[in-house]
Structure 1
Amino acid sequence: MPVPDDAGKTRSVNYRGVAVMRILHVTEAIKGGIASYLDEVASFQRFESDVEQVNFLLPAGWRTDIKSIVSDEVIEFRPVSRNRLKDWKDYCLALKAAIVTTRPDVVHLHSTFPGFIGRPLLRILRFKGVVIYQPHGWSFEMDAAKPLRAIYLNVERLLQRWCSKIICLTNYEYGLVSKKRFIPTRLAVIRTGLNEQCQSGEEDEIKVEGKLKLLFVGRMDRQKGVDNLLKVMSAVRRNDIELTIVGAPSKKSADFEIPKNVQLLGWIPREKLGLHFGSSDAVVMPSRWEGLPLVALESFRAGTPVIASSIGALTEIVIPGTSGFTIDFEDHERVVEFFEKLDGLVLRALRPSCKKWFHQNFRSSDMNKKIMNIYRSELSMIGAGANEPVLL
């Protein structure tokens, strides 16, 4: 039956007596995997029977990166420069306006900056719904000065009580905080998932042309470790190995010297990436730190093994002999030796196990069901308050 909200409007209630929920997803920047993640979430949640509406607080310019979200679902704000306090204020005002306008039952904060800003703001606003925080990789794991990492950790520890649940992308992420005085009942692990339907070209069999074809996809910056990869490619002596880079240097990155055995394509539309995943012998990920990178999942979906840094969550998803290989990319001599001995037949033999690994662990349907179950569980603990105004 319908129940009134504080504005005098009515909201439908399903047969279990639980309010049909309104959801607001909040991010600060559309970059990397966040865009694809929100794409997967949007295409699922809007069709759930107990979801009344799904909205997104996104920076202007989101249209080029997110395809499945429609304009009616979006509240835009001017992109934030973290070095300008005025932008912080504007972001707070945009989030407050989004809360007042959409009146959500669930606010889902994506990445560190919205988590740092959003949780205190929602506390000040006395928001009475469910707050989900998803860092998409812990800030204190970044390659930063030790005192700065300590500050990030202490802030995360302080703010954990101001949300209902924290979603970790991997068991590795969970393990990092479970030993650092985080509340276990506030933590959940939900691996990122992708649609099982391959992009065009992903399932094409690679053509054996006498070349060993490697692929790097992503920003050319320090985090992604492309400087180490280029040094390795410069030192590799065999002439039957080549690397294709889909990406470009970030504004803060130094200029890179591109060896002759490396082809730099720049950024290309995401829908055209499938052909590159499907036609490569391996995807290389020399990152210095990562959450759960979608590039790896896209590679597995295409049946292409991943050669990744032996760090963090990458060691959890890149399984030697099943989905690829891990190695320390800071040890240039060892990586050069590994590349010199790399066998295309061995890589191609892993293609069936990569696809199986993807379907067993990284399907978006599994991810979305788990996220919705957390929403429902947390709303049920609020009880009757789920049907009441979320702001006082």
Structure 2
Amino acid sequence: MSSGLKVLHVAETVRGGIATYLNELHPHQSDSFGRGNVNYVVPSDHRSDLVNIEDDAVTTFPRDGRNVIGLFAMLSATMRAVRQLRPDIIHLHSSFAGLVVRPVLWLTYRRSRIVYCPHGWAFGRETGRLSRAVTQFTELVLAKLTHRIVCISESEQVDAIRVGIATKRLALVHNGISKQRPVLDQRSAPWRSDKIRVLFIGRLDRQKGYDLLIEAARALGDAIDVRLIGASVVSKFSRSDLPANVSLLGWMDRNQIEAELDQADMVAIPSRWEAFGLVAIEAMRAAKPIIAFRIGALPEIVEDGVTGVLCDQVSPEKLVEGFQRATRLDLPAVGRAGYERFTRLYDIEQTHRGLSQVYADVLHTHESEAGQQAKLQSDFSNNLQP
């Protein structure tokens, strides 16, 4: 991929997985495409989630929750950045950026190639039948306005094909993170417990299944000790009814998270639905076993009984059974197997190479189409001449 390629990343929210994705990718894209050629549109209240990315590379917009005003502000900021930067690639992240920006770009600015990463299909979430049908139809229509859709897991790609999105528009590029772990925060409070130390990292929202973990912990009071890193983003969370073996640590920075990971025996990912689960590969990088449900991409990432424990149904009872199974495993050995799997499959350099190929493909297709158009016009002009 030649340097000088201009990429604009646009997200309606970045807190959590998308911030990790962009932070991990940024140094590689900057090195490949040139400093100043990789830019971002993100909400102002999430600006600090992008680390080691210069201010002049970031356009922010005001956002007070998810509403029409916030979405319009994102669209305005995006169009301002597009006019100013004239990017070759506009890379949209998540469904709201895809929903709002794609039709407007298609109508007003055809020069850029549009790449869209849903980071989990909206129709794959827990919703009513009508809502799911509407989101499937919307994604199907908008796919036609998209030069390439990047699926972050095989399950996401299968779901896209199942609802009728053309295979030629899809590209599979697994998420990745750096092989190098961030520095551990040495000020972290020691985690002294003779129980299995279980760490949860993520939003305290229904999707992430933190409530299922709390119920399992309540039932396993003598066996596990749980720490929750995160806070609620969508739903309201009450800390008053936590059992004695569950501690809430709130949001932490990456170095603090790594210090907590280091002390944990296992990482719990009890999500009800999950497009990929970056926390899973962060746990594997730290050589920690994972316990999760057999949903979304998690069965692709976690090998049951080898790098962790997969529970067949989404319920506290199945989670309890999973923890009981985990007590019979050699957890450090399972963690080491996870680390080996991580280094083989989920390195950020592979993600970067995959995305660079997607960018090259859509630009090459564009040039071919432009060449064909010019040839047709030339042939038409020649045929008109006497």
TM over 0.5: yes
- Do 2:15 and 2:46's aligned partners in 1 also have CA atoms closer than 8 Å? no
- Residue identity matched to 1:69: I
- Residue identity matched to 1:121: V
Gaps of 5+ in 2: 372-386
1:100 corresponds to which of 83, 91, 97: 83
Q: Deviations over 1:355-389 (max 9, x none)?
A: 111001110011001101111121122228999xx
2:278 corresponds to which of 277, 294, 315: 294
Cα separation, 1, equivalents of 2:370 and 2:363: 6
How many positions carry a matched residue from both structures? 366
Q: 1:377 to 1:192 in 2, by over 3 A?
A: same
SS in 2 for 1:265: strand
> Which position in structure 1 is the counterpart of 2:69?
86
> Which position in structure 2 is the counterpart of 1:6?
none
Q: Given the alignment of the two structures, is residue 155 of structure 1 paired with residue 138 of structure 2, yes or no?
A: yes
- Which runs of structure 1 show a deviation greater than 6 angstroms over 4 or more consecutive aligned residues? 384-387
Cα separation, 1, equivalents of 2:63 and 2:88: 25
The alpha-carbon deviation at position 218 of structure 1 amounts to: 0.9
Instruction: Report which structure shows greater RCO (CA 8 Å, sep ≥6).
Output: 1
Cα separation, 1, equivalents of 2:330 and 2:370: 55
2:362 corresponds to which of 351, 364, 378: 378
SS in 2 for 1:109: strand
- Do 1:322 and 1:357's aligned partners in 2 also have CA atoms closer than 8 Å? no
Q: Given the alignment of the two structures, is residue 37 of structure 1 paired with residue 21 of structure 2, yes or no?
A: yes
SS in 1 for 2:198: strand
Cα separation, 2, equivalents of 1:264 and 1:251: 17
- Do 1:169 and 1:190's aligned partners in 2 also have CA atoms closer than 8 Å? yes
Q: Given the alignment of the two structures, is residue 217 of structure 1 paired with residue 201 of structure 2, yes or no?
A: yes
- Residue identity matched to 1:153: Q
Q: 1:50 to 1:32 in 2, by over 3 A?
A: closer
> Which position in structure 2 is the counterpart of 1:28?
12
The alpha-carbon deviation at position 313 of structure 1 amounts to: 1.1
Q: 1:296 to 1:324 in 2, by over 3 A?
A: same
Q: Given the alignment of the two structures, is residue 135 of structure 1 paired with residue 140 of structure 2, yes or no?
A: no
> Which position in structure 2 is the counterpart of 1:268?
252
Cα separation, 1, equivalents of 2:102 and 2:140: 12
Q: 1:370 to 1:386 in 2, by over 3 A?
A: farther
> Which position in structure 2 is the counterpart of 1:121?
104
> Which position in structure 1 is the counterpart of 2:317?
333
Q: Deviations over 1:194-247 (max 9, x none)?
A: 011012349xxx99963211111111111011111111111125x242111111
Cα separation, 1, equivalents of 2:317 and 2:46: 42
The alpha-carbon deviation at position 281 of structure 1 amounts to: 1.1
> Which position in structure 1 is the counterpart of 2:341?
357
Please give the TM-score of this superposition, normalised by the length of structure 2: 0.88
Q: 1:78 to 1:385 in 2, by over 3 A?
A: farther
Cα separation, 2, equivalents of 1:81 and 1:226: 22
Cα separation, 1, equivalents of 2:321 and 2:260: 25
1:252 corresponds to which of 235, 247, 272: 235
- Do 1:80 and 1:88's aligned partners in 2 also have CA atoms closer than 8 Å? no
Cα separation, 2, equivalents of 1:207 and 1:252: 28
> Which position in structure 2 is the counterpart of 1:369?
353
SS in 2 for 1:223: helix
- Residue identity matched to 1:246: I
SS in 2 for 1:321: coil
The alpha-carbon deviation at position 333 of structure 1 amounts to: 3.0
Cα separation, 2, equivalents of 1:195 and 1:166: 23
Q: Deviations over 1:70-112 (max 9, x none)?
A: 11111111125433x3333332222111110111111000110
Q: Deviations over 1:282-319 (max 9, x none)?
A: 10111101111111110000000110011111111111
User: Superposed, which structure 2 residues align to 1:41-52 within 5 Å?
Assistant: 41-48=25-32
- Residue identity matched to 2:255: E
Q: What is the percent sequence identity of the aligned residues? A: 32
User: Superposed, which structure 2 residues align to 1:55-70 within 5 Å?
Assistant: 55-70=39-54
- Do 1:286 and 1:329's aligned partners in 2 also have CA atoms closer than 8 Å? no
Cα separation, 2, equivalents of 1:55 and 1:318: 33
Q: 1:90 to 1:336 in 2, by over 3 A?
A: closer
- Do 1:132 and 1:167's aligned partners in 2 also have CA atoms closer than 8 Å? yes
Cα separation, 2, equivalents of 1:87 and 1:341: 46
Q: 1:159 to 1:318 in 2, by over 3 A?
A: same
Gaps of 5+ in 1: 1-13, 388-392
SS in 2 for 1:244: strand
